Each structure stands twice: as structure tokens, then as C-alpha cells.
Chain A
Amino acid sequence: GVQQIGADQVVVWANTALLNLLGYSAEEYVGYPLGQFYVQQDVFEEYWLRLMSREDIYDFPAELRCKDGSVKHVLIHSNGLWVGGQFVHTRCFIRDITEHKRMEQTLREKNDALREAVANRDEFLSVAAHELKTPVTSLRGFAQLLLRDTRRKREISSERLESALNAIELHTGKLNQLMERLLNSAQIEAGKLRIELLKTDLVALIHAAIEQQQGDAQQRVIFDGPEQCEAVVDPVRFEQVITNLLDNALKYSPEGGIVTIGLRQGKDCGVELSVTDHGVGIPLDQRAHIFDRFYQAHGERHLSGMGLGLYITREIVYLHGGNLRIEEPEHTGTRFVVTLPSSTDGARPSLERKKVRI
């Protein structure tokens, strides 16, 4: 738009383009002091000062107030006409860059988001690398131990050999689990975690998850539920859910503490799976964060697992259209409850209940 301003700072005339840009009618704009249309008075004063010092102004940035109260970002070209050393008027060419500014802002926001994403990924890699060190230490150590014996032509006792192999089995298992979690976590972040729904017996999954537990941990798990329970889930992913919750319960339980896995029909014909431990429980203020990526309750950073377990668990449950919540059981401890909606083909869980000690 174009306008002309007189020596008294009053608008002499303005073209249609400018009036349309700012939304005023000629009567509302012409004859008024220019300053009142500037959002920032100090900006207007600087503009006028420079004009009065006979400066030709190019690309002067300013914010102008429109009739509807909105603000337009503009760039102003302004040349003064001086006759006999006196300022007569200035003709201003005004260019609207509001849209441009908006895009700049969006770009800045996207940049910030990207920077945060990269920082997240770096933290992720750093946490992962650190976590891997523990199992690798054992693996490498036992390999070197046996090598020392071999090189010195010392006989390796069967007890030592068994210890070494046990350690290797245990820690390669942990490495595997860590890698799975890392991959899953990355998939979740990328929105790429997929589930394949199949009619599955949840009870079989639960028993499989219990059997995966090492050593005497199995003795500490009680299953309270029916002999059979069909539901439509992704068997691999859902077993992960059970294992994660079970791992957690055992990890945060005191020595020899009992963990109970319960399975029953929920409201609306869905299924309710609960995992209860007798540990110290989760303080109220930490419950909101418990499902965050990398979060570990009680600041127990010495425990392995990177704090990804619950993050992944929740995501898988959500993908199944279900819900995961924390409850406080009657005793001290924690109860996680997974609810799954009724399966689409109406398959109902068997109602026969039996307490089985595994």
C-alpha cells in the first residue's frame, strides 16, 4: 500500500490497497495522526526522527494496528520531500510481511522440536550404551577367565565352567532383552509399533511368562485365575506386557516376596489382568511419571532395564485398545491392572477359577 504523510504527522491520503490491508475506510484513516496506527510508539518516534534528519528510509520494520485489532507486520520505504529546507510530506510504500513472519515462527518452532528430538535420541543412545556395559562386563570377564586357564594350560573345573556358561546365558539374555526394548522404544517413538491380533489363550501366555523367570523367582509367583481365557491380542506383544509387569514386580519386591498375577472377567465382558507385589509401593507423586520413558522409581538407577519396560508396556496396552492403571492393594505394595475391551468376536473368558501355585 501507499500513503502520504504531512509535516504534522497526519495521514494526507492512502491508497485502496493500504486501506484494505489495515481494514479501515478512508474516513477512518485519512486525517488521523499516523502514530496512532503504530503498535509501538517508540518505533514510530524512531521512524519520524530518522525522517526528520532527511534520511531515506528503506525496509523499516514496524507493526501496524488494524481496524479489527489484529496486528500486521510491515516493511516501510519512506522518502521525504523537502522544499527550501522544509519538510513537506513523505510518500510511504508499505509492504505486508505478516505471513512471512508467521512462517519464520513456525520454522523456529520446528527447529526447536527437531533439536529436542535429536537431544532425546542422544540421551537414548547414551543410556543404552551405559546399560549394555554391565552384561558385557560379565561376558568379557568370564571369557577372559577361561582363556587365562587355557593359556596357562590349567584344567578348568566343571564347577567353574558351569558358572561361566550360566553367566553367559544370563547376560546374553539380558542383552537380548535390552535390545528388544531399545528397538520397541524406537518403534514407539516413530509411531511404528504394530500389533497383530489373534485369538489367544491368556492363561498360556501367563504361564509362559512365569516360566521365563530365572531360578527361584518362579517360586514366588502365584497365578489366580481360570484354567483358560481366550482373548483377541497380539500374543508376542501381550506376553511382553505380562513379562514386563512381572519383572517389575519381582525387581521391586523384597527378597522372597510373593507376586500374584490375577486374571478375571472385567466389566463389559472385557478382561482384567493384575500383577500385585508386596514391595514398598509407588509414592503418589511418582505415579504420573512411572510410565515415562527412562523413568525409574525411587531414583533406583542401579537397577538395570533403563526404565523402558513400563513405557513400552503402556504403549502395547493402548494399541490393544486397553488401559493400564496403578492401584494400591490392601497391603503395602503395588498393583498394576491391565484392562482389555471385550474381543470383537464376542469370545468370553472361561469363568472357572482356580488358585494355582506355580
Chain B
Amino acid sequence: MTRVLVIDDDPSIRQLIVYALGDEGYQVDEAADGHAALQLIGQQHPDILLVDMKMPHMDGWEFVKLYRARYDHRAPIIVLTAARDAAQRGADVDAECTIAKPFDLDVLVERVAFLARPIIAD
């Protein structure tokens, strides 16, 4: 079962994503900030990361830097951001994908599905 970690300081958004992705058959874990996220990752490495850029204590940018430095095994990262230059934010951290807030649930589900697809080796 594909494991998704959603990192966002807004509890409503986390709850929403847990429901939506849970419906699609994913195992969803949640963290309210970068620190909690790193702890969870230490216990069990997720397959996909959903990261909000604006968070207290350690923002999305910092978290991604730390995550990539610490783990060679890179889980694909989807950046969630309300910033006007959403695409730029994603590019800044070399994310696999960027989703601008407010987002369509369909778009979120589709992007996660895309990243979760099994890679077929030739």
C-alpha cells in the first residue's frame, strides 16, 4: 500500500487530505510541521511527500533541504502553496510537482496517483 505523508500546519487541510487520499486506498500519515515530519519519516519512510510551504518553526523550503540531505532515497515531493508564484516555489526546491492552493481535490488525487504509479523497468 502506498504511503503518503502530508505536512501542513492547517489541521483542516490535513484532515481533508487524509479523507480524500484514504478513499483512494493510500495510507496517509500527517505532520503539522517539518520537525514532526522528520520524526515520522525516521520511523517509516513514506512513498510520497505532500509539503506545505508556509509552516511555523521550519518552513517547507527548509524541510525539503533537510530531507534531501538526510535521505538518499528520495520520495517524490508535491509542494502545496498559496503563493502567487506557485510554480517557482516548487522549482526552488526541485519538487516533482506543485499544486497551488486553493486546489481541486481531483487534481490532488490525480497528481498523487501519477507519482505513485509503478515504474516499469524495460
Contacts and interface: CB of A to CB of B under 8 A. Distances in A.
A141 B14 CA distance: 11
Contact of A141 (B9, B54, B82, B105): B105
A267 interface: no
A171 B12 contact: yes
Nearest to A142: B16
A167 B55 CA distance: 19
B101 interface: yes
A8 B62 CA distance: 77
B54 A301 contact: yes
A325 interface: no
B12 A138 contact: yes
Contact of A302 (B20, B55, B102, B106): B55
B15 interface: yes
Given A160-B19, A171-B12, A300-B56, A133 B101 contact: yes
A97 to B, nearest CB: 47
Interface in A116-162: 126, 130, 133-134, 136-138, 140-142, 144-145, 148-149, 154, 160
Nearest to B84: A130
B29 interface: no
Contacts of B15: 163, 167
Interface string B53-82: 011100100000000000000000000001
B23 A148 contact: yes
A136 B102 contact: yes
A326 interface: no
Given A145-B105, A148-B105, A171-B12, A137 B20 contact: no
A7 interface: no
Interface size class on chain A is 20 to 34
A140 B19 contact: no
A302 B23 contact: no
B13 interface: yes
B96 interface: no
Contacts of A300: 56
A144 B106 contact: yes
Contacts of B82: 130, 133-134, 137
A170 B12 CA distance: 9
B contact patch SS: loop
A217 to B, nearest CB: 14
B110 interface: no
A157 B82 CA distance: 30
B20 A145 contact: yes
A136 B101 CA distance: 9
Nearest to B103: A137
B92 interface: no
A49 interface: no
B16 A138 contact: yes
B122 interface: no
Contacts of A140: 102-104
Contacts of B13: 137-138, 141
B104 A167 contact: no
A303 interface: yes
A134 B54 CA distance: 11
A300 B82 CA distance: 16
Nearest to A136: B102
A327 B20 CA distance: 47
28 contacts: A133-B82, A133-B102, A134-B10, A134-B82, A134-B101, A137-B10, A137-B82, A137-B102, A138-B12, A138-B13, A140-B104, A141-B13, A141-B20, A142-B12, A142-B16, A144-B104, A145-B16, A145-B20, A145-B105, A148-B23, A148-B105, A160-B19, A163-B19, A167-B12, A171-B12, A301-B54, A302-B9, A302-B54
Given A130-B83, A134-B82, A302-B56, 13 more contacts: A133-B82, A134-B10, A136-B102, A138-B13, A140-B103, A141-B102, A141-B103, A141-B105, A145-B105, A167-B12, A167-B16, A171-B12, A300-B56
